Structure 1
Amino acid sequence: MPAAKPTTKRPTDWRKRFAKAKEPHTIVLHTDFAGIKTGTTMYIGSPGSIANYIARIPTGETRSIEAMRNELARKNGAQATCPVTTAIYLKVVAEVALADLADGKTSQEVVPFWRLIAPDSKIAKKLSCDSQVIDHYRQLEVANPVD
């Protein structure tokens, strides 16, 4: 019997995941989902809709993910925003920004995910950067506002 080939996980192509995501849309839940009740209209965003939201947060200010979800739902005529896809797409947006920073772009040239992701949050722990990176960019914006 031949030996099994060792499997190596390829790194995620965050830009590709950003580009291939479905368009934002609203659905009506037919069963309870992620704490949201049956019959609720739920907005499902995209990496682009989340990136646009984050980009509009003024320099030096922060928002909570819950506040973003509530605002996106309201602006899109829904009662809720999907917490699952929001978390996934937020990670995609942050990882693209981190890749851009690693490629030499400045913090003014990337989506400022640190305005939405708190350094001590669950999602921050899942990013490819240390939480100190988020804290650094938050402090940098407070010390040197650009807008």
Structure 2
Amino acid sequence: MSDRPATDWEARFQASREPQVKVLEKLFAGIAAGARMLVVTPRIVDAAVCEIAPGAVMAAANLRQRLAGRHGADYACPVTTGIALRVVAERSYLRLQAGVEQVTPFWRALDPDSDLAGKLVCGREFLRRMRSAEAAPPRTGQ
């Protein structure tokens, strides 16, 4: 058993911050100085993930590009986007475990083979199962 307290994913999701667009003064995460970079929040990542259609998936790079475009930035920060995506995923998974039926479909935006997927409580197999379930053709009468 760990001595570390459990992360309060709901509190991290609810934290009152606004997304910010910053002009980079120097190279950061492969993004050139002078570029306008969006620093995301879990709420805007959550909203974007909810827009991904059932059965579809979106690569992290495409999610960042979509978010940046919506906020007048050249790029979305890959670091804060990854953190926000983890907050969204962990919160949604906990809500599923608590019996909430409608949660953010984070499996649509998380590659099961990514490093981030390996850190999630739900595990990589959950992401694969959810993607597979959505990709399956709907069943009709028997």
Deviation digits for residues 38-97 of structure 1 (CA, Å, limit 9, x no counterpart)? 111001111010000000001110000000111111121111100000000000000001
Map of 1:16 onto structure 2: 11
Provide the aligned length of Structure 1 versus Structure 2.
Answer: 137
1:60 matches 2:55:
yes
Gaps of 5+ in 2: none
> Contact between 1:21 and 1:47, CA under 8 Å: does it hold in 2?
no
Shift of 1:143: 2.0
Equivalent residue in structure 1 for 2:124, among 122, 131, 146: 131
Deviation digits for residues 16-41 of structure 1 (CA, Å, limit 9, x no counterpart)? 01111521110101111111111110
Map of 1:116 onto structure 2: 109
Equivalent residue in structure 2 for 1:36, among 10, 26, 31: 31
1:103 matches 2:111:
no
Map of 1:3 onto structure 2: none
Take 2:17 and 2:78, find their aligned partners in 1: how far apart are those partners?
16
Larger Rg: 1
Q: How high is the TM-score relative to the length of structure 2?
A: 0.92
Take 1:82 and 1:131, find their aligned partners in 2: how far apart are those partners?
24
Take 1:98 and 1:10, find their aligned partners in 2: how far apart are those partners?
18
Q: How high is the TM-score relative to the length of structure 1?
A: 0.89
Take 2:84 and 2:76, find their aligned partners in 1: how far apart are those partners?
12
Shift of 1:144: 5.7
Could you say what the CA RMSD is over the residues aligned between the two structures, in angstroms?
1.3
Take 1:87 and 1:26, find their aligned partners in 2: how far apart are those partners?
17
Take 2:61 and 2:13, find their aligned partners in 1: how far apart are those partners?
21
> Contact between 1:21 and 1:46, CA under 8 Å: does it hold in 2?
no
Runs of 4+ in 1 over 3 A off after TM superposition: none
Aligned sequence identity (%): 38
Secondary structure of 1:104 counterpart: coil
Map of 2:42 onto structure 1: 47
Take 2:134 and 2:71, find their aligned partners in 1: how far apart are those partners?
30
Gaps of 5+ in 1: 1-6
Secondary structure of 2:125 counterpart: helix
> Contact between 1:95 and 1:127, CA under 8 Å: does it hold in 2?
yes
